[in-house]
Amino acid sequence: MIRSVICGVGSALPKKSLSNDEIAELVETSDSWIVQRTGIRQRHIADDNETTVSLGIKAAQAALANTGMTVKDIDCIILATSTPNRTFPASAVEIQRALGMRHGFAFDIQAVCSGFIFALVTGDAYLRCGAAKRILVIGSDTFSRILDWQDRTTCVLFGDGSGAAILEAQEFEGTSADYGILSAKLRSDGEYADKLYVDGGPSTTQTTGYLRMEGREVFKHAVGMITDVVDNCFAAVEMKPSQLDWFVPHQANKRIIEASAKKLGIAKDRIIITIDQHGNTSAASVPLALATAVQDGRIKKGDLIMLEAMGGGFTWGAILIRW
């Protein structure tokens, strides 16, 4: 049985970091207010010469370097982003060009904060059907470009960044002891499309627009939606949360993360948390957290890992992986 194995990860962050105290100079807020409600202490903000594409290139190069691969080994690039450099062509092809990759194919996928999860599942499908052997999956966003910096309810939450993973098709027995993606569950419900959105677009306002969010509505639904897809992933392979080594959640809000883990019965010391340093980086959130935990040695070969995310749409999903 073909399984999609993550054989390498990489990440990239803008050079500039912005502390809560610095944000408090822009809007009426404070470090204690932000930390208490979100868990965020700082975030990285892209300079004018840093973009979704440039960050994605750096994350991709890091992932390739960490696996000892070159672009010649990659058949496809999937970029998850809601902040492309241009409406078209896809930012993925710009990354493809920068990497010197003249073969294969590249495209963008848009599921907001759930984008990396959706992109991994898409890549998994391509590998299992034989359309590719190795896929570079990237989550890259520069949400600072779509923030209303006068709106303290949103501008304190988000940061910029990029993370990447290389998926490789490998043959296994077809049991829960296999390495790679063991199960996945994706969901969306357009009934909530106006709860978290950008108030602009090329076909409507002909402007980029700003991020708008009904925070209480998002919080109200987040824990239930997240735990539902996580439970589905475990059930699909007849496993339980107690068997999990690491929980790698979307880094949106520490209270949501901890409430979800508590409902699932996952101990706090099994949760990978990077929100304090990165803020919510949308599609980059999960791969950034994953890369951090791999690079610092917490995640080791054979570990059972759950990735999950929820984003605008609403979209949400989870993936169970044997590392």
> One of 20, 66, 253, 280 is an active-site residue; which one?
280
Asked if 232 is an active-site residue, the reply is: no
pLDDT in tens, 142-166: 999 999 999 999 999 999 999 999 9
Compute the mean pLDDT over every residue in the chain, rounded to the nearest whole number: 98
Q: How many CB atoms lie within 10 A of CB 66?
A: 18
**Residue 17 in contact with residue 49, Cβ under 8 Å?**
no
Mean pLDDT value of segment 234-238: 98
Asked if 129 is an active-site residue, the reply is: no
Mean pLDDT value of segment 236-256: 98
Asked if 280 is an active-site residue, the reply is: yes
Residue 315 bridge partners (DSSP)? 188, 311
Instruction: Calculate the CA 200 to chain-centre distance.
Output: 23
Q: How many CB atoms lie within 10 A of CB 219?
A: 14
Give the pLDDT confidence score for residue 27 in this predicted structure.
96
Q: How far is CA 323 from CA 167, 266, 279, in A?
A: 12, 18, 25
> One of 7, 113, 155, 233 is an active-site residue; which one?
113
Give the pLDDT confidence score for residue 132 in this predicted structure.
98
Please indicate, yes or no, whether the overall pTM of this predicted structure exceeds 0.85. yes
Give the pLDDT confidence score for residue 203 in this predicted structure.
98
> One of 20, 155, 250, 278 is an active-site residue; which one?
250
Nearest to 121 by CA among 4, 277, 243: 4
Tokens representing 22 are 């610095």
- Beta-strand pair 304-311/246-249: parallel
Give the pLDDT confidence score for residue 69 in this predicted structure.
98
Q: Where residue 281 falls among pLDDT bands split at 50, 70, 90?
A: very high
Q: How many CB atoms lie within 10 A of CB 276?
A: 15
**Residue 53 in contact with residue 98, Cβ under 8 Å?**
yes
pLDDT in tens, 26-41: 999 999 999 999 999 9
Domains, in order of start, for the chain:
2-171 (3.40.47.10), 180-322 (3.40.47.10)
